[in-house]
């Protein structure tokens, strides 16, 4: 039920379902990861962080928990070295995962390693599983490297995939 609610973006109800389920089985790592995701989407960052930390306490090598926590940190520009380490561990375990490659590339971008970021973001795109956000990140990296033509192409692809991405529209206008 929690997953169904989460998939319908009903994060508040899903969060409560995951909390109840954790009361029944506090060692289920997937419940903690989903609780972390829902809390993150609701802006309850302290709860999100503690849920991811609990998940990683249960299994310090779970790629999904490592990636999601790392992405949450980079989006808040917090503990980027910790996020980089977690993200690297996730892609070492699943080197073809588009989301994990994006997270690693995005952290590198935020750290100012633009050329290396482009490598990982391009790898994410090459999986043919990349989301519109990955193309937006790639566009940002190309723009930062001075390649406005490739940046525009990446932004256009992001908008093609998700026409509602106002952040991408703003980047194109710049």
Q: Is the pLDDT of residue 150 over 90?
A: yes
Which tokens hold the place of 8?
A: 């319908």
Q: 3-state SS string over 24-44? A: HCCCCHHHHHHHHHHHHHCCC
Q: What is the pLDDT of residue 173?
A: 86
Among candidate residues 156, 83, 19, 161, the one with its CA nearest the CA of residue 169? 156
CA angle 84, 62, 87 (to 5 degrees): 10
Phi, psi for residue 10 in degrees, rounded to 5:
-95, 70
pLDDT in tens, 9-52: 999 999 999 999 999 999 999 999 999 999 999 999 999 999 99
Instruction: List pLDDT tens digits, range 81-111.
Output: 999 999 999 999 999 999 999 999 999 999 9
pLDDT of residue 131: 94
- Calpha distance 106→112 (Å, rounded): 10
Residues 6+ apart with CB under 8 A from 153: 139
């Amino acid at each position: 039920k929690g997953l169904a609610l989460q998939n319908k973006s009903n994060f508040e109800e899903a969060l409560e379902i995951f909390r109840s389920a954790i009361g029944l089985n506090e060692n289920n790592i997937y419940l903690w990861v989903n609780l972390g995701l829902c809390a993150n989407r609701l802006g309850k960052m302290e709860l999100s962080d503690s849920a991811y930390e609990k998940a990683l306490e249960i299994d310090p090598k779970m790629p999904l928990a490592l990636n999601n926590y790392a992405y949450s940190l980079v989006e808040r520009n917090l503990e980027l070295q910790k996020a980089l380490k977690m993200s690297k561990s996730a892609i070492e375990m699943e080197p073809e995962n588009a989301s994990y490659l994006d997270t690693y590339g995005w952290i590198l971008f935020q750290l100012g390693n633009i050329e290396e970021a482009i490598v990982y973001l391009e790898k994410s795109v090459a999986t043919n599983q990349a989301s519109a956000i990955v193309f937006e990140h790639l566009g940002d990296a190309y723009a930062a490297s001075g390649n406005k033509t490739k940046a525009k192409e990446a932004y256009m692809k992001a908008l093609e995939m998700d026409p509602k991405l106002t952040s991408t529209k703003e980047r194109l206008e710049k």
